[in-house]
Structure formats: structure tokens, C-alpha cells
Structure 1
Amino acid sequence: MANNALFEQEKKNRGKAPASYVSSSSNSSSTESDFSSSDDENAPTVRRTLPPSAKARYLAAKGIIDFAPIADVLATSSSKLLDFACGDGALSRHLAPNVDQIIGIDIDKAAVANYNLRAKNQGLEQNELFAFTCDISKEDEVKSVSELTGLVDVIASALSFHHLADISAACKTLAANFLKPGGWIAVVDLLKNSDTQDIFSAMKSVNKAHDSTDSHSHDHVHHTGGVSALDLKLAFDNAGLASVFIFEYAFEVSVLVPAILIPDRLHQAREGSSTVDAFDRNSKVEVQMPFVLAVGRKPILQR
């Protein structure tokens, strides 16, 4: 395994607290759309107004590229990367300077059309950046699309696995049909722990009460509060991947969360606050949401 500063840093982070909370006042209703970024002076290359999900995808791309074995693979000529659940291409655009060709796949036809329109408007050719509609739970679609894409050196995915009903089956399908022997899969998602699970469960209840039609509604989420490190490890193992590394606190993103969504036990843990009633119901609390990075390599010789 190549030396990598990310490895060493994340080893130090293993024992850190999963989230921290700082009060921040704001008048707002308590729906998911109210989530917004707080200032982050530690990320000077990211605009402070960048929404949390966009900032997370930027940091996801950085984490993937900072993983030395993947950086080495992408540095070779004619490198090819598959962006799974690519959406409109945010992760792809962050990764593009580091790879010769990126192919996106997504179940959402509108997102794929937007992905390809953005690439075209940027003057990119189809052999540089292009996406296909593909439902990887359907064998015929996987077969037809994989014949078009060919095998890739790296499969990357950001903020998508918590939407999957079966992440183990998804990993197995991706590794078997799209990844070259010796290639890598890298997945970044919200790290599930008791804090994130409680917050997003509360958010889901509020959204239902408000009859939310948000495209990212947690009615479409199979893993409320993110994905656990153990689930990712088991999924990678089931896909036959080797050299699996799970970085449980790869990075954090500041999010302003309506105070009524914060569990009482977390308010009580804050210095100077003894109860959730100490907060105005329209105030917000700054939460450092943790993200996990999981990487695994497909063996050159299959078992």
C-alpha cells in the first residue's frame, strides 16, 4: 500500500467525536430545504455560500483524488472513471482535471440529460465526459450500458449510497460489470451514527407533516442518517474487493439545522444549555456532519 497522508490523518481521526454543535440564531421554518452552509474558513477554495451537498461533493472529489493508489491509476494515459449515480455531474466536474475520460450513469433521465448538456456547453466531447441512463438493478440495462462504456479504472460515487435499497448488490454489480481487474471503487457518503440518524429521522417526520415534495426527500432514502462503515465494509467484501479501507471521518461539512430537529440529549450536552427548551424553535444549530470514504480494489486474479 502506497504511503498516503490521508491514511495517517484518518487514523488519528478514528477516536474523534462524531459531531459538534454550536448555536446560531436564524428565523426559519423547519423543513429540509432550510438547511444551509455555515462559514468554513478551513476550506478557502470553496465559496462560503456553497450549499452543504455541493461542498460535500467537492470534498468527496478531493478525498478520492488524495487517495494515492487512485491518484496513481488516474495519472496513467487513457484513464477512465465511472461516476455512479452521477446526477447532473457535480462530482464528475470536480474529478475531470485528473482523468482522461469520465462516464456517468444514473437512473434519472432528466439528470443525465442535464449532465450531458452541461458537458456540451463546456465544449467537452463525448469521449471526455458523457452520461448514460442506467438502472443497475436491471440486468438488461447493465449489459447494454456496460458494453458501451467498457471497463473502467475507477468507479466513484458521492452522496448516493444512502438512497440504495441494497448497497451490497450495487457494489457487486458495479465491480462485476464495469470495473477492470485491479481497479478501484471509491464511495463517499454521510456517515451514519446515532446523531445523524436521530436528526434525519426527525427531519423525515417534519417533511411528512409538511407534505414535502423535495427531490431529495427522505421518503426516497433507504438508509436514514447515512451509511455505516460496517455496511460499506460488508458490501465491499461481498463484491469481492480486496485492500478495503474505510475512513470513518474523511471530512465534515457544517450544516445549519433547525433546533427542533436536534435531539434533546445533544442540546443537554452543549455547554451552557441544559434543555432543548433553551432554544427558540426558529433558531438553528450548527452541526458538523461527518462523511465516510470507503475504497476497495478489485483483485487482478479473481477468487
Structure 2
Amino acid sequence: MAELTPARTPKTLTDLNRDWFDTAVAAGAFEIPWIKDLTKLISSSLRNNFEWLGVPQHDGGIKLLDYACGNGVVSMALSPSITEAIGIDLSPNMVTAYNTLSQSQQLSSKLSAIQGDLLSPSTPQDPNFFNFDIIVMSMALHHVFDTQLMINKLHKRLRDGGVLVIIDWLTMELGGSGHGYRHPNDDSEGRNGEGEKVTPAAHTVAHWGFSEEEMKSLFENVGMVDVGFMEGIEKSKVPAEMNYEQQMFIAKARKVTSH
């Protein structure tokens, strides 16, 4: 399978993002308690609501694109319900973590990841990277500057009738103390102007979460239908030592079937 070519462009995750994620994997970020809890929440939410997602059923099975796949949380959660999963991530360390986990669970025959960036102008048009029944982008859209471009790119990779799923943070109110993301004036040591510790990836955040209206607009701008939004999910502490709770959502929409 052809490898997607990563690109460093202001329209996608920043170089700081890549550097932080590579470091995080090496440092065992997925063993940090609040991140472990979050991945469990994502996994259970996907499994428990798979029918709600409305993934099309056909004789060819179910093909998943796990975009910004990390170590494979989404792919592993949906593995009982899918036929094939392709993970794509900017970080080579994340790709290694994904494939290592897949192999350890004897799932490498149907779950595999490569390094790549769908926002890169040089992304190949290999048929293997199209006609997905379901595409999931989990906890990564808030790192993308041009969210509409990202949705457009993912939409093009779906088969007719396929479902695009975005998992991310619900819009939070800024101002005051205790929030999990870094303000522009936060220092490089991970503390804000009030001396409070903030999350290590905060400097890579492009959006402070998304509202239901924003997600609906992003989907409908590319002609998607059957938009759904689920926010009644257990809250997550970000990070746990700050005692700050953030609300996750799952948003979905369907690509119109052409006639």
C-alpha cells in the first residue's frame, strides 16, 4: 500500500503538535491516568453507540478510516464490528504504537496504520484510501486550523452513504481559572499567567472545542445529511490533577448517495 506523504503546513497540525505527540508516545502518554480514562470512555462510547452511528451494511463488509489514529483506540474499539481498518497519523511514533498494539492483539491482518496527512497537496489518490464506510476522527479536530477543509477532505474519502464521525470536546467557556487548555500568554513551562499547571499539548490547540451548531454547519457545508450529535457522555478531567471536567461529544453525518 502506498504511504501517504506528511506535510508541514499551517493548514494542518503544527510542527509543535508532531514534536509533542512523538515525545508523548515515547514517554508513555497513554499510561497517564486521565488519558487512560479518556481512551476507555471513547472506546465504550463507540461500542455502546455503534448502531446509532448508522454505518451502512453491504456484502463487502465495513471499511474504517481511523484518522489521526494515535495508538489505535478507535480501531480497537470498533474491531469486532468492522472488516478492515486503516489508521493514518502524522506521527511515526503513533503509527508504530498502533501497529504494535494491533499485532499484540492478533489483529494486524485487518488493522494497520501508516504515516500520512490528508491535508497535504501531495497526498496520493490511491483507491485504497477511498470508499470508506465509516471515518472517525477522534480528539484531533480541535488541533486543525482549517476545520472545514479537514471535513471536506474526509468527506471525499467516504463511499456514498458512508458515515463521518467526529469525537471531540464540546465548546467550553474561556476566562477564569481551571481550564485545561493554554491561553496565548501561557509560558513555555506549562503554567499560565496565574501560575496554574496546564496540559502539555495546550500550545497545539487551534479551537476551544465545538458546539452542536458548528458541527452541523461543517457537515452541511459539504452536503452531508442525517446529522446527529451526542453530548450526554460522562465528563472527563483534563487533566485529572486540575480537577477540571470537560465534556466530550460524538457527532455524525452521512454522505449523500448519488443517483
TM-score between the two structures when normalised by the length of structure 1: 0.64
Residue aligning to 1:179: 158
CA contact (8 A) 1:59 1:251 kept: no
CA distance in 2, matches of 1:52, 1:119: 20
Residue aligning to 2:118: 136
Residue aligning to 1:94: 77
Instruction: Choose the corresponding residue for 1:244, options 227, 237, 251.
Output: 227
CA distance in 2, matches of 1:59, 1:118: 18
Identical aligned residues as a percent = 23
CA distance in 2, matches of 1:233, 1:284: 31
* Displacement after TM superposition at 1:185 (Å): 0.5
* Structure 2 letter corresponding to 1:140: S
Moved more, 117-126 or 90-99: 117-126
Residue aligning to 2:52: 67
Number of residue pairs matched?
A: 223
Q: 1:202 to 1:64 in 2, by over 3 A?
A: closer
**Given the alignment of the two structures, is residue 227 of structure 1 paired with residue 210 of structure 2, yes or no?**
yes
Q: 1:107 to 1:64 in 2, by over 3 A?
A: farther
CA distance in 1, matches of 2:140, 2:45: 12
Alignment of 1:89-128 (within 5 A): 89-126=72-109, 128=110
CA distance in 2, matches of 1:207, 1:118: 38
Moved more, 51-60 or 200-209: 200-209
- Larger relative helix fraction: 1
Q: Gapped runs of 5+ residues in structure 2?
A: 1-31, 192-197
Residue aligning to 1:292: 249
SS of aligned partner of 1:232? helix
CA distance in 2, matches of 1:155, 1:202: 27
SS of aligned partner of 1:81? strand
SS of aligned partner of 2:54? helix
CA distance in 2, matches of 1:75, 1:200: 47
* Structure 2 letter corresponding to 1:139: P
CA contact (8 A) 1:36 1:256 kept: no
SS of aligned partner of 1:87? coil
* Structure 2 letter corresponding to 1:243: D
CA distance in 2, matches of 1:230, 1:198: 25
Moved more, 230-239 or 57-66: 57-66
**Given the alignment of the two structures, is residue 193 of structure 1 paired with residue 172 of structure 2, yes or no?**
yes
CA-based RMSD: 3.2
Q: 1:207 to 1:59 in 2, by over 3 A?
A: farther
* Structure 1 letter corresponding to 2:205: V
SS of aligned partner of 1:97? helix
CA distance in 2, matches of 1:160, 1:256: 15
* Structure 1 letter corresponding to 2:72: G
Q: 1:200 to 1:101 in 2, by over 3 A?
A: farther
CA distance in 1, matches of 2:225, 2:50: 19
Q: 1:250 to 1:157 in 2, by over 3 A?
A: farther
CA distance in 2, matches of 1:296, 1:256: 27
Q: 1:104 to 1:64 in 2, by over 3 A?
A: farther
CA distance in 1, matches of 2:177, 2:47: 26
Q: 1:64 to 1:198 in 2, by over 3 A?
A: farther
CA distance in 2, matches of 1:202, 1:150: 36
Between 1 and 2, higher relative CO (CA 8 Å, sep ≥ 6) is seen in 1
